[in-house]
Amino acid sequence: MKYFIVTYGCQMNVHESEKIAAILEKMGYSEGSSREEADIIVFNTCAIREGAEDRVFGNVGNLKKLKKKNKDLIIAVCGCMTQKEQTAQKLMNTFPFIDIVIGTFNLPKLGYYIEAVKKGRQLEILSEGDIDESLPYKRTSGENAWVNIMQGCNNFCTYCIVPYVKGREKSRKEEKILDEIREIISEGKYKKITLLGQNVNSYGHDLKDGVTFAKLLRDICAIEGDFTLSFMTSHPKDLTDDVIDAIAGEEKIEKFIHLPAQSGNNRILKLMNRKYTREKYLEIIDKIRAKIPNCRITSDFIVGFPTETEEEFLDTMALVRQVKYDSIFAFMYSPREGTVASKMEGQISDEVKHDRVNKLLSLEKSLQKETKDED
């Protein structure tokens, strides 16, 4: 009995697929090398932009032939896309050969749904769930071990679907995280630990036991062993001096921060509900540069947010030029149903979005070339 997992989206999903693999192996499945030889195929989906969802619809659709050949093949779809009731229903209706559609919070019970398939197709979406501490992961990223420190997000950036599909922020207890890392290090094969969370800098706020992200970083570094530590993603509004000092002072922490700015224009940042200004963001960058020489800094940007003018877009270009990032990701704004921005007047045409994203990416390319030439 073989399984095959198809993962879309961010590192959190890559890590979540490691849990799916562990669940399936516990049930007696082993990893297959292709969809063709699988007895169960799991799609772990992403909902962040429309393109990600379109790919899932296309790729799931392609499985029809396989299901025809092998009637016992089980097809399961889970992850952020299925956490949206309408999309989950649409998947079920469009593809009668899908056996299981479950939301992100049902994932720990995947085994139960696979058993239940004998009785018929399974569709279930819980609106909220706790972090599952009961199952191990099948670690698949070589020398790097992902460690989840929290789930969900409280920020409600107006363009973002994450708070709707992942729920509110919930931090894992520090002791559980430290135990997991001690165990990883004692195995001897991992050289790098990467902490994961939508907004790692607000780690611990919900625990109300005084633990902060900076404390967590320091406590992890105190674990004996030869390893490096990194983390993502940081929200500029929560990146404290204490965290910057921890990165600067702790040898084990990689000198790298992914600090998404999203826009370089204050009116757009406000509309995005990012809770910082361009000036505040630049202040943080200056602080990082002063305290952590040679720190690599990367960022995400969204172009074509509703009502964004050409001039406002040029503020983003100028910010990118000014900060001299090590690299950036540039995305065309994608309206996500249910978010505040998707209902805003002044949606920007695809043509303009394409034009802006191309301009931003070619700026990024030319800046990369400049730094290479300097080297």
**Least distance from ligand 5AD to the Cβ atom of residue 290, Å:** 25
Indicate the residue among 235 and 252 with the shorter CB distance to ligand SF4. Answer: 235
Does residue 162 touch ligand SF4 according to CB under 6 A? yes
> Which residues inside 234-273 make contact with ligand SF4, applying CB under 6 A?
235
d(CA 100, CA 97): 9
Distance of closest approach, residue 302 Cβ to ligand 5AD, in angstroms: 5
Does the footprint of ligand SF4 cover residue 177 (CB under 6 A)? no
Given the structure tokens 């009731």, which residue do they identify? 85
Amino acid type, 154: N
- In this chain, which stretch among 154-162, 172-180, 208-216, 339-347 interacts with ligand SF4, using CB under 6 A? 154-162
Residue nearer to ligand 5AD on the CB measure, 63 or 264: 264
Name the residue with the smallest CB distance to ligand 5AD.
Answer: 300
Query: Which two tokens mark 238?
Result: 């929560």
Phi, psi of 71 (to 5 degrees): -65, -25
Give the Å distances, CA to CA, from 90 to 7, 121, 153: 20, 14, 26
Q: Are 83 and 105 in contact (CB under 8 A)?
A: yes
Binding to ligand SF4 by residue 100, rule CB under 6 A? Answer: no
**Whose Cβ is closer to ligand SF4: residue 162's or residue 320's?**
162
* Cα–Cα distances in angstroms (integers) from residue 111 to residues 41, 91, 102, 223, 330, in the given order: 13, 20, 11, 34, 38
What separation in angstroms does the CA of 117 have from each of 76, 97, 261, 271? Answer: 10, 12, 44, 45
The region of 3-11, 125-133, 160-168, 238-246 touching ligand SF4 under the rule CB under 6 A is 160-168
Which SS3 state, helix, strand or coil, does residue 293 take? coil
Q: Enumerate residues 6+ apart whose C-beta is below 8 A from 58.
A: none
- Tell me which residues touch ligand 5AD (CB under 6 A): 48-49, 159-160, 260, 262, 300, 302, 331, 333-334, 336
Nearer CB in complex with ligand 5AD: 159/203: 159
Binding stretches for ligand SF4 (CB under 6 A): 153, 155-157, 160, 162-163, 198-199, 235
